[in-house]
């Protein structure tokens, strides 16, 4: 059994991860805000995976065993918060929207993490206020437990462009579409179309971080056209895939 690394204090710092690199499973006694200033970040726990581009951050509650994965060149910003400081009142990982002010506060807090001045304390206080006001985003792929659901999710995870209906997929995994529909709601907390959209957006963010052209991303993730993909992406993230790709890169990187 892999030993889970335990860090009593969740660090506040900035670090870089190369594409495909990661941080092994670990836990903190503190809460932590995890933000990708560049690239795309995925956090995985036993319950599922959360993914966040540069317009999102991930709240990781104290005690949560989690691992990080980088897609694209990842500029990772970590902000630790004491276990008795929970501005969100959340006990499970959650993706949060990051506006311009919250982004600058996260960058400022991780730029000088050892600062114990009164000014820095006020900066963190404003950060907590901004976190309380941050909308939560449903960018989450839960881990299925039912055997037939695990098989179906693995099939589509390997090929998000597979456009078969739930009934057709059910024939392959040995379950009716009615049974699978019920399992999606009871086991994963969402409908099959909702889950498939989450899966496709997850893969789209990964492909965009790897500089895959937008039209190719749409095709490989199962959208009928690039315009259909752009519409769903814009409604979810508030920007087009092209604008997202630009925001996820540094000023000296090709876009």
% of the chain residues with pLDDT over 90:
67
pTM of the model: 0.85
Model confidence at 252, pLDDT cuts 50, 70, 90, reads very low
Cα Rg, the chain, nearest whole Å: 19
* Residue position matching structure tokens 């994965």: 69
Q: In DSSP terms, which residues pair with 48 in a beta bridge?
A: 45, 142
Domains in the chain, please, with CATH? Answer: 5-137 (2.60.120.810), 144-247 (1.10.10.60)
Mean per-residue pLDDT, 43-56:
89
Q: Rounded CA gap, 53 and 57, in Å? A: 8
Question: How confident is the model over 213-223, as pLDDT tens digits?
Answer: 999 999 999 99
> At 98, phi and psi to the nearest 5?
-120, 110
Residue 242 has pLDDT above 80, yes or no: yes
- pLDDT grade, residue 53 (50/70/90)? confident
User: What pLDDT does residue 80 have?
Assistant: 94
Q: Residue 84: CB partners within 8 Å, gap ≥ 6?
A: none
> CA-CA distance, 25 to 251, in Å (whole number)?
32
pLDDT surpassing 60 at residue 248? no
Residue 152 pLDDT level (bands cut at 50, 70, 90): very high
Cα end-to-end span (Å), the chain: 42
Is 74 within 8 Å of 41 (Cβ atoms)? yes
Q: 51 in helix, strand or coil?
A: strand
User: Could you tell me the two tokens for 52?
Assistant: 């966040």
Retrieve residue 107's tokens. 């960058």
Question: Residue 1 — very low, low, confident or very high, per pLDDT cuts 50/70/90?
Answer: very low
pLDDT, position 246 = 65
User: For position 87, what pLDDT does the model report?
Assistant: 86
Give pLDDT, residue 183.
95
CA–CA dist 221, 162 (Å, integer): 8
Question: What tokens were used for 1?
Answer: 């059994």
> Is the pLDDT assigned to residue 236 strictly greater than 90?
no
Q: Which of 56-70, 132-146, 238-252 has the highest mean pLDDT?
A: 56-70
Phi, psi (deg, nearest 5) at residue 42: -120, 135
**Helix runs in the chain, H state only:** 100-111, 118-132, 147-158, 166-173, 177-183, 192-209, 214-221, 226-237, 241-247
Question: What are residue 233's phi and psi, to 5 degrees?
Answer: -60, -45
pLDDT at residue 68 tops 60: yes
Per-residue model confidence as pLDDT tens digits over 87-141: 888 888 999 989 899 999 999 999 888 888 999 999 999 999 999 888 887 788 9
For residue 148, give Cα distances in angstroms to 38, 153, 157, 181: 37, 9, 14, 11
Given a cut of 60, whether residue 225 has pLDDT beyond it is yes
């Amino acid at each position: 059994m892999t030993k889970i690394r335990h860090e009593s204090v969740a660090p506040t710092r900035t670090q870089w991860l190369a594409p495909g690199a990661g941080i092994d499973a670990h836990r903190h006694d503190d809460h932590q805000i995890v933000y990708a200033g560049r690239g795309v970040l995925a956090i995985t726990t036993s319950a599922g995976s959360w993914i966040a581009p540069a317009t999102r951050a991930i709240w990781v509650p104290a005690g949560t065993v989690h691992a990080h994965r980088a897609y694209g060149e990842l500029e990772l910003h970590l902000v630790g918060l004491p276990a008795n400081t929970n501005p969100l009142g959340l006990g499970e990982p959650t993706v949060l929207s990051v506006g311009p002010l919250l982004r600058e506060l996260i960058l400022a807090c991780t730029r000088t993490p050892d600062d114990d001045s009164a000014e820095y304390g006020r900066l963190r206080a404003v950060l907590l206020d901004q976190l309380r006001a941050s909308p939560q985003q449903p960018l989450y792929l839960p881990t299925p437990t039912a055997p037939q659901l695990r098989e179906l999710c693995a099939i589509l995870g390997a090929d998000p462009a597979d456009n078969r209906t739930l009934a057709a997929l059910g024939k392959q995994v040995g379950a009716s579409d009615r049974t699978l529909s019920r399992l999606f709601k009871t086991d994963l907390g969402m409908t099959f179309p909702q889950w498939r959209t989450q899966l496709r957006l997850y893969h789209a963010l990964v492909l965009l971080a790897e500089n895959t052209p937008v039209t190719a991303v749409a095709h490989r993730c199962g959208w009928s056209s690039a315009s259909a993909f752009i519409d769903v992406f814009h409604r979810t993230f508030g920007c087009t895939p092209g604008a997202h790709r630009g925001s996820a890169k540094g000023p000296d990187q090709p876009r």
